Amino acid sequence: MNGFDDSVLSLLVVLPFATALALILWPGDSDQLRSMKWFSAVVALVSTALVAWILLRFDYTDGSQYQFISETAWLDQLGIGFDLGVDGIAVAMLALTAIAFPAAILVGWNVDARSKDYLILLNLLVGGVYGTFVSLDLFFLFFFYEIAVLPMYLLIGFWGSSTSFPRFTRSKEYSAMKLVLFLVGGSVLIWVSIIAMFVEADLNSFSLLDLQRAGFDESFQNWVFPLLMIGFGLLGGLWPLHTWSPDGHVSAPTSVSMLHAGVLMKLGAFGIIRVGIQTIPEGAEAWAPLLLGMGAVNVIYGSIAAMSQTDLKYVIGYSSVSHMGYVFLGLATMHTLGVTGAVLQMFSHGIMTALMFTLAGAVYGSSHTRDIGALSGLAKVMPVGAFFFAVAGFASLGLPGFSGFVAELLVFLGLFQTYPWVGALAVIGAGITAVYMLRLLAKVYFGETDPRWESLPDLKLNEKLVAGMLALTLLIVGLAPFYLIDIIREGVRHVPTVTG
């Protein structure tokens, strides 16, 4: 590997933070907003180019588990190094982030209140996300994980919106605080496990490369894995600790919902894989049935809850809970097909849900309501919006041709190999998804157009661009999934307890 390959990951991680710093120090404020936005957009595209480079140079015939490894000593006293590297799973997640981040910047182009602060926080968030995906040191993985979560508080609290229900109002400050306390509370469990692993291995090292070879004994694995599963699962929306997630998605501004549901929730599932299944494989095997049960409830409960929502964004929020259920089910199979499907589902759900939030944001932005009862027949006034929502809806209910189908199919195949009954249950969940997605599509976009919405504008240019890009991704991955599947499988096959 040449010199650039060694430093590309460090560059990828440092770039968003450097951007945030540059924005903080940027002289002038309101008169400079346009240039700041362009600057952020260009930098976001540069990181996308870096990810494209990684994707192209990633060698999935190479036998070693991690590639693009770079190791920098950071704090020897505690055995912490700034160690980076990616496997196939991480590469898929990088690709997701590289698509979702420029999309989010573009959708948020019209944020005009304190947009400098907004861009700074967005960059910090994405820096945290990239950092978590590429860290091979548990300290830094946790460090970036926390960084990814925290900007959410201000992003939701300041730029978000409150939701009024008939009997109460869910304020954006409440949702923001709930989200942060849930997630930081979950990270307590992660922190305890990380430190326990450090002490138990007794290698004076937080490096995953060392810890994954440490050979923890079974009783240790059995008590640490559930902590990791719950701690990371929280961010993935694992039932019954998912309640922060719909509230957070709904209250957040569009671009943040996209990043949050699209990318951030994946950090949780990624953590279960990287720190949980890959490092504590036998513990994962022992606790897989619990994860399976909780994931199944996620699927069924999430879709039933989505069906009964009256707020457009809450439907999407609960459908995310339901779709993340497939990820947990896939991981719990501990079968190559299932785990590969789970990772592909993470990618696919990320793109799909970002697309949905873009469209819901467009509807809310012009009509100022998200009440499904009030919205009707929007297809007549916003045909482009209706088209893309139909695409997202079909991808969500698993129509062949879109990436969601491939991912869910792999998960089902994995399930039928291991737990056929749960597989049947999951298929029922997919059926419920079809019901509420089609009902939503019919109610909001088709039927009589309410006179109130006669003059509603269609998608703006930036929204069209983003929607087109995301829909295209869904289609490409749906029609030609093998490239991505090969890469993901290269990462999955290194886990000793994942079979098949």
Query: Between residues 148 and 297, which has the closer beta carbon with respect to other proteins?
Result: 148
Q: Of the candidates 49, 78, 374, 479, which one interacts with other proteins according to CB under 8 A?
A: 78
H or E segment and range at residue 85: strand 80-86
Q: Of the candidates 53, 74, 220, 387, which one interacts with other proteins according to CB under 8 A?
A: 74
Part in contact with other proteins (CB under 8 A); list of ranges 45-53, 189-197, 384-392, 446-454: 189-197
Query: Between residues 158 and 446, which has the closer beta carbon with respect to other proteins?
Result: 158
Q: Of the candidates 85, 102, 108, 157, which one interacts with other proteins according to CB under 8 A?
A: 157
Question: How far, in Å, CA of 300 to CA of 337, rounded?
Answer: 22
Tally the residues of the chain.
Answer: 500
Nearest 5°: the CA angle 318, 321, 326 is 135
| Residue 77 binds other proteins (CB under 8 A) | yes
Site string for other proteins, 163-182 (x = CB under 8 A): ----------x---x--xx-
The torsion angles phi and psi of 114, rounded to 5 degrees, stand at 45, 50
Query: Between residues 36 and 392, which has the closer beta carbon with respect to other proteins?
Result: 36
Part in contact with other proteins (CB under 8 A); list of ranges 39-47, 68-76, 265-273, 466-474: 68-76
Query: Between residues 210 and 408, which has the closer beta carbon with respect to other proteins?
Result: 210
| Residue 220 binds other proteins (CB under 8 A) | no
Query: Between residues 206 and 436, which has the closer beta carbon with respect to other proteins?
Result: 206
Torsion of CA 412, 416, 421, 426, to 10 degrees: 0
Part in contact with other proteins (CB under 8 A); list of ranges 150-158, 272-280, 393-401, 444-452: 150-158
What is the CA 401 to chain-centroid distance, rounded? 22
Residue position matching structure tokens 């298929």: 427
- DSSP letters, 245-262, are HHHHHHHS-HHHHHHIII
Which SS3 state, helix, strand or coil, does residue 405 take?
A: helix
Q: Which amino acid is at 280?
A: I
Q: Of the candidates 1, 52, 75, 424, which one interacts with other proteins according to CB under 8 A?
A: 75
Q: Of the candidates 1, 188, 428, 480, which one interacts with other proteins according to CB under 8 A?
A: 188
Query: Between residues 79 and 398, which has the closer beta carbon with respect to other proteins?
Result: 79
What is the CA 482 to chain-centroid distance, rounded? 21
Part in contact with other proteins (CB under 8 A); list of ranges 48-56, 193-201, 445-453, 479-487: 193-201
**If we measure between CA atoms, which residue out of 88, 126, 117 comes closest to residue 263?**
126
- DSSP annotation of 72 reads E
| Residue 39 binds other proteins (CB under 8 A) | no
| Residue 192 binds other proteins (CB under 8 A) | yes
On whether the CB atoms of residues 238 and 271 are closer than 8 A, the answer is no
Residues 103-142, interacting with other proteins (CB under 8 A)? 117, 139, 142
Q: Please, which residues have CB within 8 angstroms of residue 259's CB and are 6 or more apart in sequence? A: 100, 101, 104, 122, 125, 126, 129, 354
- Residues paired with residue 82 on neighbouring β-strands, in sequence order: 72
| Residue 18 binds other proteins (CB under 8 A) | no
Count of residues touching other proteins (by CB under 8 A):
30
Q: Of the candidates 45, 55, 195, 465, which one interacts with other proteins according to CB under 8 A?
A: 195
Task: Output the smallest distance, CB 44 to other proteins, in A.
Answer: 20
Site string for other proteins, 257-296 (x = CB under 8 A): ----------------------------------------
Q: Please, which residues have CB within 8 angstroms of residue 160's CB and are 6 or more apart in sequence? A: 172, 175, 176, 251, 252, 253, 256
Part in contact with other proteins (CB under 8 A); list of ranges 147-155, 269-277, 286-294, 362-370: 147-155
Residue 202: exposed, middle, or buried by beta-carbon count in 10 A (0-12, 13-18, 19+)? exposed
Question: How far, in Å, CA of 193 to CA of 131, rounded?
Answer: 20
Residues of this chain that bind other proteins (CB under 8 A): 74-78, 117, 139, 142-144, 146-147, 150, 153-154, 157-158, 173, 177, 180-181, 184-185, 188, 191-192, 195-196, 198-199
